[in-house]
Amino acid sequence: MSSAALNPERPNYLNQEYGIRSWLLTVDHKRIALLYLLSITFFFFIGGFFALLIRLELLTPAGDLVQADTYNKLFTMHGMVMIFFFLIPSIPAVLGNFLVPLMIGAKDLAFPKINLLSWYLYIIGGVMMLHCILTGGVDTGWTFYTPFSTAFSNTRVIEAGLSVFVVGFSSILTGFNFVVTIHRMRAPGMTWSRLPLFIWAHYATSIIQLLGTPVLAATLVLVVLERGLHLGIFDPTLGGDPLLFQHLFWFYSHPAVYIMILPSMGVVTEIVACFSRKRIFGYNFIAMSSIAIAVLGFLVWAHHMFVAGISLYSALVFSMLSYLVAVPSAIKVFNWTATMYKGSITFSTPMLYSFGFIGLFTMGGLTGLFLAALGIDVHVTDTYFVVAHFHYIMVGGAVMGYMAGIHFWWPKISGRMYPEAWGRLAALIVFLGFNLTFFPQFVLGYMGMPRRYWQYPPEFQVLNVLSTAGSTILAVGYLLPMVYFLWSMRYGKIADANPWHASGLEWMTTSPPPTFNFEETPEVTWEAYDYANIPAPEEVPVEH
C-alpha cells in the first residue's frame, strides 16, 4: 500500500457529517450522486423483476404463467421503469453528478440546490410510478401510443404519464446543471481541448436532455388532457392525428437513446485510454463525434414510423439521415481500437466491461442499420429483431458502460477497492448471460416472431428457452456486484488517491474526495490523457 493511503480519519464527503438529515438535505454533488445510485439501483431491480416474469412466461409457447392483459402490463412496466427510471438517469445522474465537477476542477456543480431538487423530482416521479404499478399498472407499452392510450386502455395511463412528466424535469435539471457547469466552472487552464472526453459526452447528452425532454413533457400533457377531457387532438374520430403523437413522442424518444448511450461512450473512452496506457487516439474526432451524434440524433426520429403511414419521401429522407448516425458512432469505435493498438493493456474488470461494450455496441449499431433500411425494416418491424437490436444498445451498450464506470470509479467513490477476481467473474457472467439472452432474439425476430405477445408457435420454443436461460445467468451477473460492492465498503483494500495511475483531475484529490473536492483549486498545464508522462503502476493494480 502506498504512503498516500487514505487515513480513515481524513475528512471526506462521507464522514464530514452523519445522519439522515445530512443526506436528505445535502447539496454536495457527490452525496446526491450516491442518493441517485441507491434510487436507480432500486428501480433497476424492479424493472429486472418484470423482465424475469416476461422471460418466464415465454419459456413455453402457451400463455400459462400470465394471460394477455397481465403480459401487456409486464412489458409496459418493464420498459417504463428501465427507460425513465434507470437508463436515462443512470450514468449522468450517478457518475456524471459525481465526476463532472471533479474532472473539471470545480468545487461543485453550478447550481447545487437545483441538483438536489432534481433528485427529489426523481423520487416524486418514482413514488407515482410505484403507486401506479401497485394499483394496477399500465398496458400501453412504454410508448403511450394514441388513440389506445387516450381512448381505449382501461389502465392507469394518466398517472403513468404524469409520473414520466415529473421525472422528465429531473432529467432536464441535471442536463441544465451540467451545461452551465462545463461552460462556467472549469479550473484555470482547463480549456475545452483539455477536457476529458467523459465531459464532452456529458455535454452532448445534456444538450439532448435540455432540448428533447420538454417536447415529451408537452406531449404527455396533451395525452393526459385528451384522455381526461376527450379533446380529440390525437383521436382520428374527432379529427385528430395519431401520427402527430408519434412524431412528437419520437422527437424526444429517439434522441433519448443517445441520452442513454453517449455517457457510456464517455466512460469507455476514459477506461480504454487508462488501461492501454496511451493517449487517446483522435481526441478531437471523439469529442466532435459526441456532438455530431447529439445533433444528428434529432433528425432521425421518424425511422420508428416507417410502417405507420408516413409519406414514402419523408421515409426515404429519414432512412438516409439514420445511416448518417453510423458515421460518428463508427469513428468512436475505430478510435477506441486504435488507442488499444500497441497499447499496454490490462484486463481489469472495467476494461473487460469496456471490451463488452465495444463489441455489443457494434453489433447493436450494425443491426440498427438493418432497421434504418426501408425494405428490411418493413420485414422486421415489431419483431424480436427490434427487441434484440435495442437491447444490444441499451443493455449491451449503456448498462455495460455503466458497470464499467462504477467499477473504475468505485475506489474514488468509496475509498475502497472492490475484489478484482469477483469483478472479472461477474463481467464474464454478464457478457455470457447477455449474449445468451438476446442473440437468440435476433434469430427469432428474423424468423418472424412478433414482439409484445404472450404466446408463440411451438417451433420458436428452443430459442425462447435459450433466451430465458440466459436471462437468469444475466441476473446472477448483476446481483454479484451488488454483493461485493457492499462487502468492499467494509472489507475492501483501502484505495489510494490514484490506484489505476489514471490521468484526470478526479484522481489528483484524495479517495474519497473532501466535500469541496480539492484542497486547492488545481491549475491545469497538461493535455488530457497524458499517459506518456504518467508512470504506469509498478504492479498491475489488480489482485490475482
Partner 1 sequence: MSTSDGAIIAEPEHGPELRHQFATVEQQREASTLGMWLFLSTEMMFFGGMFCAYLVYRYWYYDEFAAGSRSINIWMGAINTGVLICSSLTVALSVRAAQMGKRKTLLVLLVLTLLFGLAFLGIKGVEWHDKFVEHHVPGLSFSAADLVRDYPQLHINPHHIQLYFSLYFAMTGLHALHMVIGIGIFLFLTYKAWKGAYTPGYYTPVEVGGLYWHFVDIVWIYLFPLLYLIDRKPL
Does residue 512 have a cis bond before it (omega within 30 degrees)? yes
Cβ-based nearer residue to partner 1, 233 or 386: 233
- Please report, to the nearest 10 degrees, the dihedral formed by the alpha carbons of residues 266, 267, 269, 274 taken in order: 150
As measured in angstroms, the least distance from the Cβ of 151 to partner 1 is 14
With beta carbons less than 8 A apart as the criterion, state whether 84 and 47 touch.
no
As measured in angstroms, the least distance from the Cβ of 345 to partner 1 is 36
As measured in angstroms, the least distance from the Cβ of 336 to partner 1 is 31
Grouping H, G, I as helix, E, B as strand and the rest as coil, residue 381 is coil
Among 217, 265, 393, 449, binds partner 1 (CB under 8 A): 217
Residue 375: partners with Cβ closer than 8 Å, 6 or more residues away: none
Among 23, 45, 49, 111, binds partner 1 (CB under 8 A): 111
As measured in angstroms, the least distance from the Cβ of 176 to partner 1 is 5
Site size with partner 1, rule: CB under 8 A? 52
Q: Within 392-500, where are the H helices?
A: 400-414, 420-447, 461-491
As measured in angstroms, the least distance from the Cβ of 250 to partner 1 is 12
Q: How far is CA 298 from CA 242, 263, 449, 541, in A?
A: 20, 17, 30, 42
Among 514, 527, 537, 540, binds partner 1 (CB under 8 A): 514
As measured in angstroms, the least distance from the Cβ of 399 to partner 1 is 27
| 508 touching partner 1, by CB under 8 A | no
- Please report, to the nearest 10 degrees, the dihedral formed by the alpha carbons of residues 43, 44, 47, 48 taken in order: -140
| Cell numbers that stand for 533 in this block | 508522462
With beta carbons less than 8 A apart as the criterion, state whether 137 and 50 touch.
no
CB atoms within 10 A of CB 229: 9
Cβ-based nearer residue to partner 1, 163 or 219: 219
Among 172, 265, 474, 495, binds partner 1 (CB under 8 A): 172
As measured in angstroms, the least distance from the Cβ of 323 to partner 1 is 25
| Cell numbers that stand for 160 in this block | 403513468
CA 513/CA 494 separation, integer angstroms: 14
CA 505/CA 492 separation, integer angstroms: 24
CA 242/CA 239 separation, integer angstroms: 10
With beta carbons less than 8 A apart as the criterion, state whether 254 and 213 touch.
no
Cβ-based nearer residue to partner 1, 244 or 443: 244
Q: How far is CA 367 from CA 89, 353, 385, 544, in A?
A: 25, 21, 9, 37
CA 541/CA 417 separation, integer angstroms: 10
With beta carbons less than 8 A apart as the criterion, state whether 104 and 521 touch.
no
| 4 touching partner 1, by CB under 8 A | no
Cβ-based nearer residue to partner 1, 311 or 533: 311
Place of cell 403523437: 245
Span of 46-54, 123-131, 222-230, 315-323 interacting with partner 1 by CB under 8 A:
222-230
As measured in angstroms, the least distance from the Cβ of 101 to partner 1 is 8
With beta carbons less than 8 A apart as the criterion, state whether 59 and 468 touch.
yes
| 158 touching partner 1, by CB under 8 A | no
As measured in angstroms, the least distance from the Cβ of 251 to partner 1 is 8
Place of cell 451488488: 482
Residue 245 backbone dihedrals phi, psi, to 5 degrees: -60, -45
Identity of residue 283: Y
Site string for partner 1, 241-280 (x = CB under 8 A): x--x--xx--x-----------------------------
As measured in angstroms, the least distance from the Cβ of 321 to partner 1 is 19
Identity of residue 102: L
Identity of residue 203: Y
Cβ-based nearer residue to partner 1, 147 or 419: 147
Q: Which of residues 446-465 bind partner 1 (CB under 8 A)?
A: none
| 179 touching partner 1, by CB under 8 A | yes
Grouping H, G, I as helix, E, B as strand and the rest as coil, residue 479 is helix
| 522 touching partner 1, by CB under 8 A | no
Span of 204-212, 342-350, 351-359, 488-496 interacting with partner 1 by CB under 8 A:
204-212
Among 210, 330, 366, 374, binds partner 1 (CB under 8 A): 210
| 48 touching partner 1, by CB under 8 A | no
Span of 72-80, 224-232, 413-421, 491-499 interacting with partner 1 by CB under 8 A:
224-232
| Cell numbers that stand for 402 in this block | 455503466
| 496 touching partner 1, by CB under 8 A | no
Cβ-based nearer residue to partner 1, 520 or 539: 520
Residue 139 backbone dihedrals phi, psi, to 5 degrees: -130, 25
| 183 touching partner 1, by CB under 8 A | yes
Among 2, 4, 11, 136, binds partner 1 (CB under 8 A): 11
Among 61, 63, 141, 232, binds partner 1 (CB under 8 A): 232
As measured in angstroms, the least distance from the Cβ of 181 to partner 1 is 8
Q: Which residues bind partner 1 (CB under 8 A)?
A: 7, 9-11, 101, 106-112, 172, 176, 179-181, 183-185, 210-215, 217-219, 221-222, 225, 229-233, 237-241, 244, 247-248, 251, 514-516, 519-521
